[in-house]
A and B are shown apart, each in its own frame.
Chain A
Amino acid sequence: MGSPCELVCEALERRAAHELSSIVAAEAWRIEDKFSRYLDGNIVDAINSAGGRPVEVDDETAQLLDFAVTLYELSERRFDITSGVLRQAWHFDGSDRVPADSRVQAVLELVGWHRVAWQRPLLQMPRGMEIDLGGIAKEYAVDRCAALLREQGGGPCLVNFGGDLAVTEPPAQRVRWKVAIEGERDGEADRIVDLKQGALATSGDARRFLLKNGVRYSHILDPTTGWPVPDAPRSVTVAADTCTQAGMISTLAMLEGAGAEAFLDAQAVTSWCRR
């Protein structure tokens, strides 16, 4: 998941806590192994190295692809799981190395879900294109783990994968889970959110940007232009029924750039936008 993953539970017995954490760990590793674009031999690797040939995918992958298609449509092409190759042009390391537009446009040739043929269960895309489910998989994993814990009757639990989190039920003794949202600096909380039920997800990373001639380039790239979304907030935190919804709404808000707050207001969700 590329981040610390934790389970907070109110189990009274050490054995029960161990059992619950085993369930979460197993599911997190399963999803990581299956969908990480950094690993060889999994379904994402099979798709990305198919060299233009069609690949047959399993049901779960198909569900995630269908979900990605919905987001692609809802975002009017700006949430695109094929946009990962833009990283070949952009390195958000805090430096001033903004790439030349010609370089960006060259890479952009390999971006765009509209170039992909997706007919469940077959996916076929041009050679050189890649998909990356990283923008969905972590939130999906949090919700899957929370669902498994609920099925198990695990009591009040909080599943937190790098700040994207969901709770299974309110804590027994304290009414609400207290969640600190990390701010600009490491380990320093920006605000405390009382969560009784539901999930929180945060998009944006204050440490990933480029700065040139006084212009800050956020790492949120618009796949329709190949350039960072102008005036994107530093971070957007959203509360929703599921971590997946929270994560997608916060990502869509980031893609709105200067319009993030207006977008969030219109969604009628509890959210916090940091500029």
Chain B
Amino acid sequence: MSKKDNRSISAALAMATCSLLGSGIPAPVDAQEEPEWDFNTSLLYYGEDGDRVKDYSVKAIARRMFVDDRVLSLSMTVDSLTGATPNGAIRQDTAQTFTRPSGNAAYDVQSGVLPLDDTFLDTRVALTANWQQPVGETSLVNVGASASKEYDYTHFGVNAKIARDFNKRNTTLAAGIALSIDSLDPVGGAPAPLTPMLDVGDTSNRIGNQDKDVLDVVLGVTQVVNRNLVVQANYSYSKSDGYLTDPYKVLSIVDGTTGDTLLRTPTPGVEGPSHQVLFESRPGDRTKHSVYTQAKYYMNGKVLDASYRYMTDDWEIDSHTVDLRYRWPVGEDRYIEPHLRLYTQSEAEFYRLSLVDSDPLPVFASADYRLGNFDAVTAGAKYGWKTSNDNDMSVRLEWYRQSGSVPAAQVVGNQATRDNYPDLNAVILQFSYRF
């Protein structure tokens, strides 16, 4: 056939259909084959105030949807970190000199200033791959692998998760396990725990590369309560073994009366630390238990997402996290989502502001502010919209504020006049585009 103009066939058919079905011809067709891949990309800026850490992070997630709910996800993240972090030593009323982690040079810190190590500069590349697949009518299995590399740290991990629906798909039970094998190759070699920071060029206390393994297990239940409410509860267990110490963190050795750091004289003609500091020491294992509960409540297009996490570990850190998000549609395809996160933790049992010279040396000690007693608030909002070609775009702006304190019993002499746990402020800005 088709000596006829083919287009006239469509037109004639449309007319014939119109007279067959009468009026009430619906809106024109809008159909497309589901794209095989979709991509989620984001650009994140995290900046702490002052000279502290800045992170520019680019992330891309590619998902290939196969029919029958099988999904392959691949992701790549590149982080570029710059800035300085506290090295653990306390402020002094005099200038201080420290040997760099590499052992090849020294750096100075002004009097009254929190000692920051500014050699912190790194690029991190992380890759993940995940495969999800239904098993039977009601189960979903997910297996994955991850790897990341930065100049002093390599990570490999595998994970698996199974979820099964019950009760007309209103209840889902899930169990997951993840194993990670990490190796640390600190600049200049890892220092032996609780050994002094040495002069430039002296590597006699370096013990070389280290590694650690982490096992995570999670058990969870998700319950659809009614058509507006979904709740979830998880228990997670995490066990880390190996080198958990931060090879770049030190503690100041102080006089038991004044609280000032003891002076030290470098070998003549060689640069070296001006004060006595020891590299920190953490236990070789850590066991964490956490319980997480979440509720998502849908009301007329708005969604309230509230969660609470309690974590406790055998380092005696207990933490509580409350996270609230409220997604508020603005018109047809825009939304605004305010976010508030409150966090509090107690300090690790071996957290020390400094070590008193006359006291016996503890087995474990760290002045890392992240192991201290602190509260943190994250507040901000995300604004999202659909682009003209049906893709999702969003921008998120958040502020982070952390303030902590040192137990009064640990504050010695002149330390009482100094800010021993300075506040940390950061801003987070993220653009996301999904296509």
Q: A residues engaging B (CB < 8 A)?
A: 12, 63-64, 66-67, 70-71, 74-76, 78, 140, 143-144, 146-147, 150-151, 166, 168-169, 175, 178, 180, 183, 188-200, 239-242, 244-245, 248-249, 252, 255-256, 259, 263, 266-270, 272
Q: Is the C-beta of B32 less than 8 angstroms from some C-beta in chain A?
A: yes
A266 nearest in chain B by CB position? B6
Q: Which A residues lie within 8 Å of B21 (CB)?
A: 140, 143-144, 147, 242, 244
8 new A-B contacts at CB < 8 Å, known A194-B32, A249-B13, A255-B1: A75-B1, A147-B21, A166-B26, A190-B67, A193-B34, A244-B21, A266-B7, A268-B7
Q: Which A residues lie within 8 Å of B6 (CB)?
A: 263, 266-267
Q: Which A residues lie within 8 Å of B29 (CB)?
A: 197-199, 239-241, 270
Q: Which A residues lie within 8 Å of B17 (CB)?
A: 67, 143, 241-242, 244-245, 248
- The distance in angstroms between the C-alpha atoms of A196 and B29, with both chains bound, is 8
Q: Give B16-28 as 1s and 0s: 1 = Cβ < 8 Å from A's Cβ atoms.
A: 1101111011111
* A-facing residues in B29-46 (Cβ within 8 Å): 29-34
Q: Of B17, B19, B27, B33, which is in contact with the most chain A CB atoms at under 10 Å from its CB?
A: B17
Q: Give B37-70 as 1s and 0s: 1 = Cβ < 8 Å from A's Cβ atoms.
A: 0000000000000000000000000000101100
A178 → chain B, closest Cβ, in Å?
A: 7
Q: Which B residues lie within 8 Å of A240 (CB)?
A: 29
Complex partner residue of B9 from A64, A74, A239, CB under 8 angstroms: A74
Q: Which A residues lie within 8 Å of B417 (CB)?
A: none
Q: Is the C-beta of B204 less than 8 angstroms from some C-beta in chain A?
A: no
A9 → chain B, closest Cβ, in Å?
A: 14
A191-B33, A194-B31, A194-B33 known; A256-B2 Cβ under 8 A: yes
Complex partner residue of B67 from A192, A241, A245, CB under 8 angstroms: A192
- The distance in angstroms between the C-alpha atoms of A183 and B66, with both chains bound, is 13
Complex partner residue of A270 from B25, B27, B31, B68, CB under 8 angstroms: B31
B28 → chain A, closest Cβ, in Å?
A: 5
Q: B1 to A256, Cβ gap below 8 A?
A: yes
Q: Which B residues lie within 8 Å of A268 (CB)?
A: 7, 10
Complex partner residue of B26 from A71, A168, A263, CB under 8 angstroms: A168
A191-B33, A245-B17 known; A146-B10 Cβ under 8 A: no
Q: B31 to A64, Cβ gap below 8 A?
A: no
Complex partner residue of B31 from A74, A183, A198, CB under 8 angstroms: A198
A168 nearest in chain B by CB position? B26
- The distance in angstroms between the C-alpha atoms of A241 and B24, with both chains bound, is 11
Q: Is the interface on chain B under 10, 10 to 19, 20 to 34, or 35 or more residues?
A: 20 to 34
- The distance in angstroms between the C-alpha atoms of A79 and B29, with both chains bound, is 24
Q: B26 to A197, Cβ gap below 8 A?
A: yes
A252 nearest in chain B by CB position? B9
A146-B26, A189-B68, A242-B25 known; A200-B16 Cβ under 8 A: no
- The distance in angstroms between the C-alpha atoms of A44 and B27, with both chains bound, is 32
Q: A76 to B67, Cβ gap below 8 A?
A: no
16 inter-chain pairs at a CB distance below 8 angstroms, sorted by A residue, are A74-B9, A144-B21, A150-B24, A178-B34, A191-B34, A193-B34, A195-B31, A196-B31, A197-B28, A199-B29, A241-B27, A244-B17, A245-B10, A263-B6, A267-B10, A268-B10
Q: A244 to B33, Cβ gap below 8 A?
A: no
Q: Which B residues lie within 8 Å of A191 (CB)?
A: 33-34, 67
A30 → chain B, closest Cβ, in Å?
A: 15
Q: Which B residues lie within 8 Å of A200 (CB)?
A: 31
A136 nearest in chain B by CB position? B20
Q: Which B residues lie within 8 Å of A194 (CB)?
A: 31-34
Chain A binding site: helix, strand, loop or mixed by DSSP? mixed
A195-B31, A241-B29, A249-B13 known; A188-B19 Cβ under 8 A: no
Q: B33 to A193, Cβ gap below 8 A?
A: yes
Q: A259 to B67, Cβ gap below 8 A?
A: no
Q: B31 to A151, Cβ gap below 8 A?
A: no
A229 → chain B, closest Cβ, in Å?
A: 11
A242 → chain B, closest Cβ, in Å?
A: 5
Q: A188 to B32, Cβ gap below 8 A?
A: no
A70-B12, A74-B12 known; A63-B31 Cβ under 8 A: no
Q: Is the C-beta of B390 less than 8 angstroms from some C-beta in chain A?
A: yes
B65 nearest in chain A by CB position? A192
A192 nearest in chain B by CB position? B34
Q: Is the C-beta of B168 less than 8 angstroms from some C-beta in chain A?
A: no
Q: Which B residues lie within 8 Å of A147 (CB)?
A: 21-22, 24, 26
A191-B67, A242-B25 known; A71-B16 Cβ under 8 A: yes
B26 nearest in chain A by CB position? A241
B27 nearest in chain A by CB position? A197
- The distance in angstroms between the C-alpha atoms of A255 and B94, with both chains bound, is 93
- The distance in angstroms between the C-alpha atoms of A240 and B67, with both chains bound, is 23
A193-B31, A242-B26 known; A76-B13 Cβ under 8 A: no
